[in-house]
Amino acid sequence: MGIINIVKNVKEIHKEFVVLVRVGNFYNCYGRDSYIISYLLGYKINILDNNIYNSSFPKSAYNKVLSILEKNKINYIVLDKRNNFTYHIK
């Protein structure tokens, strides 16, 4: 199952959460979540092949991003591809 499908499945259950996916040295978010991250932190929005919106940031900015999400009272889920997409909900 691809990352996009996994994110869609998680979003079906947790509609009000921002989903961040760690892939290598970056965290990615997709769809509406990319707009939230872009608005709050100024990260660029990219359009992937299937007209899916994406925004990413380096792992060095992870604590900063989570701090801003928490400050704005935005719930989030972090998925980790390295560990078979185990997740952390906050």
Per-residue pLDDT, 49: 85
Can you give the pLDDT at residue 81?
75
Spatial separation of the C-alpha atoms in residues 8 and 20, rounded to whole Å: 12
- pLDDT at 83 (0 to 100): 67
Q: Please give the pLDDT value at position 88.
A: 60
Domains plus CATH for the chain?
Answer: 3-89 (3.40.1170.10)
DSSP letter at 51? S
Single pTM value for the model: 0.87
pLDDT on residue 5: 87
pLDDT per 10-residue tile (average), the chain, 90 residues: 84 93 93 96 93 95 96 93 64
